[in-house]
Amino acid sequence: MQKKNTSTQFIIIFSLTLLSLFTLELLAITQNTLIIPWTHFLAQLSSNIVQLFDSQTIAQGVVLRDINSGFAVSIQPGCNGIEAIIVLIAAMIAYPAPLEAKIKGMIIGFIAIQLLNVIRIISLFYLGQWNQTAFEWAHKYVWQALIMLDVLIVFILWIRFMKKPAEENEEKHHAG
């Protein structure tokens, strides 16, 4: 019975946290102070990375543009990795774990998701210049799935590595 209560508790906390965080994300103050500046930063970071190989790339706000071809990608809501991070944070908050482990997991998860998201932005930038159909397919299907798979993998690895030290401590306690 304990396992069913734990699962139900996880689902309730996860759902309420998701609802709260997505609501918070939509507030104008959050958009203006966090989301929009973060998205501008992602465009600039992506541009800086691309400029290591292609000096004809610039960032303008949330847009990454190739100066020669004029092709550009705009990093819109849903493409800045924030929603994926919200899902990961909600799962970590709902999971029964020490606060310190949750905070470490959220920081590492944020970095992992955003690193993959920068790769996503840059790959879509180049893919769109090569083939618009492939760009649309990769943008709508492949990368959406990969980003959410990243969330799942980070969450599973976090659980696994978080439990490992606790299990080792238990084994030492029982052996001694």
- Structural contact between residues 7 and 96, judged by C-beta atoms closer than 8 angstroms: no
Could you tell me the residue range of the domain that residue 89 belongs to? Answer: 2-175
For residue 36, pLDDT over 70 is answered with yes
The tokens describing 169, both together, are 């401590």
How many other CB atoms are there within 10 angstroms of residue 2's CB atom? Answer: 6
The whole-number pLDDT of residue 169 equals 52
For residue 2, pLDDT over 60 is answered with no
The whole-number pLDDT of residue 164 equals 64
CA angle 106, 17, 159 (to 5 degrees): 40
pTM of the predicted structure, to 2 decimals: 0.85
Predicted confidence band of residue 6 (pLDDT cuts 50, 70, 90): confident
* Percent of residues in the chain assigned helix, strand, coil, to nearest 5: 80, 5, 15
Number of domains in the chain: 1
What span, in angstroms and rounded, lies between the C-alpha atoms of 155 and 148?
11
The whole-number pLDDT of residue 87 equals 97
- Structural contact between residues 39 and 85, judged by C-beta atoms closer than 8 angstroms: no
Non-local (6+) Cβ contacts of 164 within 8 A are none
Q: Give the tens place of pLDDT for each residue, 59-70.
A: 999 999 999 999
